[in-house]
């Protein structure tokens, strides 16, 4: 039997933490937000309100969604935490990605929270298990739950087990996220980059290597991926594609391709040169694919609209698969 989770604390309520709190509250969990900066709590409430209005505009939420968030979500200052800490079944930690900041918050949480409270760290790369090793009482209850931005839209969450994370903690975290409509995946040991960033790093390394060799332009490489795998990956991942084609052909192709792939293990030279030149991407106005518009907020809004359109389409695929399975 996995642990039942009813009351959740979200600590660190920036862009990620506030959206995470919104997800839990919308799905009926009593959720409390806190932050070392009291002004962040007010900003989080405004951000959540804007998120909900955006969802309603797109037909992804109704008034009952807003009412659930209002009913289940509350905020407290950090100095109020001692009076409530023992009520929490799970703490979703989303504080700044700095080892000292993370260590300091866990030092406080470990002292205040019950010893059966689960700690789920939203970190994109940090080995939280090593960072907290000297202070973590009952380390079997510590797990990474890596959300993607924006959390209220992106369904994937990477659950990463530490060397002592228990099966019960993993299952309880996975069940909670699934009940919130998410798609959790489990990495059974900490590895830098987890699952998604390891895959994306390999792909980017090869694309930038091909560009560096002059074999194709960055835009043509981008187009090649978008109009093949990009088209399919919303309903069929690379492993299912191999199954569809039949393993013999892809394995034969691999035998020819593997010896020619980039195998750099220290850096990606093409990317490092762009960084040195200040061409770091959208917010800098120029990146791998050339120049970007000065209206960064407009660019982000356009990107978010496209995420929402794909989100709706993938929901349709899920319903179709569920109906076929019945």
Q: How many CA atoms lie within 13 A of 129 on its CB side?
A: 18
Closest alpha carbon to 296 in 310, 279, 306, 284: 284
The residue from 49, 103, 146, 152 that is catalytic is 146
> Long-range CB contacts (< 8 A, 24+ apart) of 286-293?
288/208, 288/211, 288/218, 289/218, 289/219, 289/222, 290/219
In terms of Cα–Cα distance, which of 75, 87, 80 is closest to 12? Answer: 75
152 assigned to active site: no
Closest CA to 120 of 155, 68, 171: 171
CA distance 273 to 271: 5
Separation of first and last alpha carbons in the chain: 27
As a 3-state breakdown, the chain gives helix, strand, coil percent values, each rounded to 5, of: 55, 15, 35
Are 92 and 17 contacting, i.e. CB atoms less than 8 angstroms apart? Answer: yes
Judge whether 141 and 166 are in contact, CB under 8 Å.
yes
**Residues whose CB falls within 8 Å of the CB of residue 181, separated by 6 or more in sequence, listed in order:** 27, 155
Which positions are catalytic?
146
């Amino acid at each position: 039997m996995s642990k039942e989770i009813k009351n959740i604390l979200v600590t660190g309520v920036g862009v990620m933490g506030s959206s995470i709190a919104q997800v839990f509250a919308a799905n009926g969990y009593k959720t409390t937000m806190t932050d070392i900066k009291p002004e962040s709590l007010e900003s989080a409430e405004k951000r959540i309100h804007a998120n909900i209005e955006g969802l309603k505009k797109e037909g992804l939420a109704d008034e009952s969604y807003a009412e659930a968030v209002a009913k289940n979500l509350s905020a407290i200052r950090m100095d109020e935490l001692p009076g409530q800490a023992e009520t929490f079944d799970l703490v979703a930690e989303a504080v700044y990605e700095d080892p000292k900041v993370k260590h300091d918050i866990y030092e406080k949480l470990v002292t205040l929270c019950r010893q059966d409270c689960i700690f789920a760290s939203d970190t994109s790369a940090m080995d939280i298990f090593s960072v907290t090793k000297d202070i973590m009482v009952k380390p079997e209850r510590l797990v990474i739950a890596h959300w993607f931005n924006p959390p209220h839209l992106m369904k994937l969450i990477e659950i990463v087990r530490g060397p002592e994370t228990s099966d019960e903690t993993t299952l309880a975290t996975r069940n909670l996220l699934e009940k919130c409509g998410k798609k959790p995946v489990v990495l059974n040991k900490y590895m830098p980059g987890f699952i998604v960033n390891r895959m994306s790093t390999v792909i980017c390394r090869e694309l930038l290597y091909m560009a560096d060799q002059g074999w194709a332009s960055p835009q043509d490489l981008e187009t090649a991926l978008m109009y093949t795998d990009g088209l399919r990956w919303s309903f069929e991942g690379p492993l299912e594609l191999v199954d569809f084609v039949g393993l013999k052909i892809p394995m034969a192709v691999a035998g020819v391709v593997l010896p020619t792939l980039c195998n750099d293990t220290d850096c990606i030279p093409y990317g490092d040169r762009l960084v040195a030149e200040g061409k770091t991407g959208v917010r800098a106005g120029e990146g791998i694919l050339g120049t970007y518009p000065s209206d960064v907020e407009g660019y982000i809004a356009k990107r978010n609209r496209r995420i929402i359109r794909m989100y709706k389409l993938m929901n349709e695929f899920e319903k179709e698969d569920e109906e076929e399975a019945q």
